[in-house]
């Protein structure tokens, strides 16, 4: 399974309050949330992501609140996957549960070589991020098998329904 | 075979196995599931896609807390949806506006946080339940939806970071200072995926209320949860709700696998978390004198009766600085009511502060104390991320209730020690 998109690079400690501020938590409408993604912190984000994006983040991506609204906002801004040096655990679960692949970058020392704006392909099965601009590969930890199944089903709800048919 | 960590013991019980190992993925049986009006409606919507029946309506707890009473039509509608969910499925534990307060406080007050119980909450500060030896784990709405349907959740058995705190608290140093100091030392992702277990003489001397503050900030180190080792206080809590037979000892065996961090609390002084991360911890004296616009006393971290009592002692007979507003949000209706009886509320009003309904409110910039552009707040809450309490160009300094109130009096960040005898 592969996904493709433009790399949007972010730093360490990207928290869920900056992905989607609390003032928008009064709804879980996907379109509305996507409209306000990173509104305070990175207003150009939604334009950059429009044609499909792979986020490459630093340490502790998604820390803070348990708001699934953050994943909904990213997914509906056309983010195809997130690669990060490490993830905060609630965000990680939410991401997998909503069918948004989240991979840990294994070659952390090569983080600086990943270039913002490059087209890239992420092979989820192999755990490899490939920059199509430079043809350089960055290895990631593969997701555990049952998480891959959740991703392939399009999220935990679909996975659960298929399993209990 | 090595001994078991506290979390291994609890997870073995919840998985119905003799022994689970660190790193195992288990299917755990949930004792209580907590939903509030922000993450709840999405959980319910997802739940209804997969099931027509709640696994056990006596084990679901619905609490309204984020914006109480609601200040927008949208949030009022979310609450309306949750009320119809409660009615439709016969949810037995529902805390309506005016009958509860902040979820984590209500779970504690109403006897849900029994030692060894697994509490799943659709809120990141569910880890607060660890104060009494319960295992509180925060999840998102979709995980909560599956728990609603099945009563079970998959969990990885985490590594344990044992934090042993010895020594005596110095004057003007509170559980909040210890908690912030700990986050500062461990770092915002220093305990990611791990469980933090608190032990040592200084922890044992803390009241349950103070332990709630300690457990509450575990998530700010990335931890799955924080647990205070059980003792006579935690077991006394279970007894007071007549649940002693269901409760258990929650502490790691000395020969189990954990990493240990030692903290001498007698070296800790009043501290603040400087914007924009919780682990950016500095002694109050290094930022003293910085002008503030708002002081906020409240939240699941520090909105309890002992916090309000400290505020009372510092405020008594004094006036809040004219350029500052002090916003106080008691953590629950019970706290509010007790504070009222004790004359604390009256004293806050006399000093020029305002008391809001029990709610999360200002802590996450949702209502009742939102910051404007360029404003600075000192707050007893738990997060100081960019825009957390309002405008993206506002700033939040996290501190103990004593530091918050001393700062309100002086109109700038102030060391509380000169107000405490």
Is B10 in the same domain as B143? yes
The alpha carbon torsion through B346, B351, B353, B355 (nearest 10 deg) reads -10
Level-2 CATH architecture, domain A2-163: Alpha-Beta Barrel (3.20)
Whether residue B1 is contained in a domain is answered as no
**Cα distance between residue B182 and residue B176, in whole Å:** 10
Residue of A nearest to B121 (CA): A66
Q: Which residues contact B225 (CB under 8 A, 6 or more apart)?
A: B126, B127, B129, B130, B135, B136, B137, B138, B195, B196, B215, B218, B219
- In this structure, the answer to whether residues B228 and B306 fall within a common structural domain is no
**How many domains does one find in chain B?**
2
Reference B297, options B394, B136, B408, B146; nearest CA is B408
Of residues A45, A46, A59, A38, the one with CA closest to residue A111 = A59
Instruction: Profile chain B (421 residues) by mean pLDDT over runs of 10 residues.
Output: 96 98 96 97 96 97 97 95 98 98 98 98 97 98 97 97 98 98 97 97 98 98 97 98 97 98 98 97 98 98 98 97 98 98 98 98 96 98 96 97 98 97 77
Q: What is the pTM of this model?
A: 0.96
Does B242 share its domain with B336? no
CATH number assigned to the domain comprising residue B354:
3.30.499.10
- Shared domain for B198 and B284, answered yes or no, is no
| Domain match, B157 and B241 both | yes
Nearest to A126 by CA among A140, A113, A114, A109: A140
For residue B87, the model assigns a pLDDT of 98
Pairing of strands A137-139, A128-131: antiparallel
Q: Which residues pair with A105 in a beta bridge?
A: A140
Which residue of A26, A86, A160 is in closest CB contact with B75? A26
Strand order in the sheet with B376-379: B281-283, B271-273, B395-398, B376-379, B294-298, B325-329, B354-355
- Looking at residue B421, its pLDDT comes to 77
Structure tokens at B114: 């029994």
Give chain A positions within 8 Å (CB) of B140.
66-68, 71, 90, 93-94, 97
| Pair B179, B224 in one domain | yes
Please indicate, yes or no, if residue B421 is contained in any of the structural domains.
no
Per-residue pLDDT of chain A (165 residues; tens, 9 = 90+): 999 999 999 999 999 999 999 999 988 899 999 999 999 999 999 999 999 999 999 999 999 999 999 999 999 999 999 999 999 999 999 999 999 999 999 999 999 999 999 999 999 999 999 999 999 999 999 999 999 999 999 999 999 999 887
Q: Which domain holds residue B30?
A: 6-265
* pLDDT given at position B1: 85
Indicate yes or no: CB of A25 within 8 angstroms of CB of B66: yes
Asked if the structure places residue B376 within a domain, the reply is yes
CB contact under 8 A, A41 and B189: no
């Amino acid at each position: 399974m592969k996904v493709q998109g433009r790399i949007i690079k972010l730093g360490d400690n990207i928290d869920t309050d900056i992905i989607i501020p609390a003032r928008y938590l009064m709804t879980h409408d996907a379109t509305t949330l996507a409209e306000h993604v990173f509104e305070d912190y990175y207003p150009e984000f939604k334009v950059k992501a429009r044609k499909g994006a792979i986020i490459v983040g630093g340490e502790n991506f998604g820390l803070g609140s348990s708001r699934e609204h953050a994943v909904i906002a990213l997914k509906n801004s056309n983010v195809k996957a997130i690669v990060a040096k490490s993830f905060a655990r609630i965000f990680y679960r939410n991401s997998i549960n909503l069918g948004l692949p989240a991979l840990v970058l294994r070659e952390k020392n090569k983080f600086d070589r990943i270039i913002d704006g490059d087209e890239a392909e992420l092979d989820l099965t192999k755990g490899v991020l490939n920059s199509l601009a430079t043809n350089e590969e960055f290895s990631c930890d593969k997701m555990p098998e049952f998480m891959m199944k959740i991703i392939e089903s399009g999220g935990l709800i679909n996975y659960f329904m298929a399993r209990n048919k | 075979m090595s001994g078991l960590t506290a979390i291994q013991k609890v997870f073995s019980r919840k998985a119905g196995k003799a022994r689970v190992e660190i790193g195992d993925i288990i299917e755990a049986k949930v004792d209580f599931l907590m939903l509030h009006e922000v993450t709840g409606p999405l959980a319910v919507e997802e739940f209804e896609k997969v099931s027509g029946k709640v696994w056990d309506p006596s084990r679901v707890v619905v609490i309204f807390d984020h914006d109480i009473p609601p200040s927008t039509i949208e949030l009022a509608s979310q609450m309306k949806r949750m009320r119809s969910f409660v009615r439709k499925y016969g949810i037995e534990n529902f805390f309506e506006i005016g009958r509860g307060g902040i979820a984590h406080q209500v779970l504690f007050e109403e006897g849900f946080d029994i030692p060894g119980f697994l509490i799943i909450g659709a809120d990141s500060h569910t880890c607060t339940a660890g104060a009494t030896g319960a295992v509180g784990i925060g999840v998102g709405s979709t995980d909560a939806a599956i728990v609603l349907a099945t009563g079970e959740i998959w969990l990885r058995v985490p590594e344990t970071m044992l934090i042993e705190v010895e020594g005596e608290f110095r004057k003007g140093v509170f559980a909040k200072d210890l908690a912030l100091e700990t986050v500062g030392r461990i770092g915002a992702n220093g305990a990611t995926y791990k469980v933090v277990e608190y032990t040592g003489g200084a922890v044992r001397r803390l009241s349950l209320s103070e332990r709630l503050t300690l457990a509450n900030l575990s998530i700010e180190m990335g931890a799955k949860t924080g647990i205070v080792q059980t003792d006579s206080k935690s077991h006394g809590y279970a007894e007071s709700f007549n649940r002693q037979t269901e409760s258990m000892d929650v502490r790691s065996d000395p020969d189990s696998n954990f990493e240990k961090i030692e903290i001498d609390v007698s070296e800790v002084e009043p501290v603040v978390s400087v914007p924009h991360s919780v682990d950016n911890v500095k002694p109050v004296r290094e930022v003293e004198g910085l002008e503030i616009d708002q002081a906020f006393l409240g939240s699941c971290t520090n909105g309890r009766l002992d916090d309000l009592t400290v505020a009372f002692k510092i405020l008594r007979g004094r006036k809040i600085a004219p350029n500052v507003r002090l916003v106080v949000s008691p953590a629950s209706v019970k706290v509010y009511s007790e504070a009222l009886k004790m004359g604390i509320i009256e004293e806050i009003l006399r000093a020029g502060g305002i008391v809001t309904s029990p709610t999360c409110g200002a802590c996450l910039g949702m209502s009742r104390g939102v910051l404007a552009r360029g404003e600075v707040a000192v707050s007893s809450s738990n997060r100081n991320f960019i825009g957390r309490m309002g405008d993206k160009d506002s700033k939040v300094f996290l501190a103990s209730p004593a530091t918050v109130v001393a700062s309100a009096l002086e109109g700038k960040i102030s060391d509380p020690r000169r107000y405490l005898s």
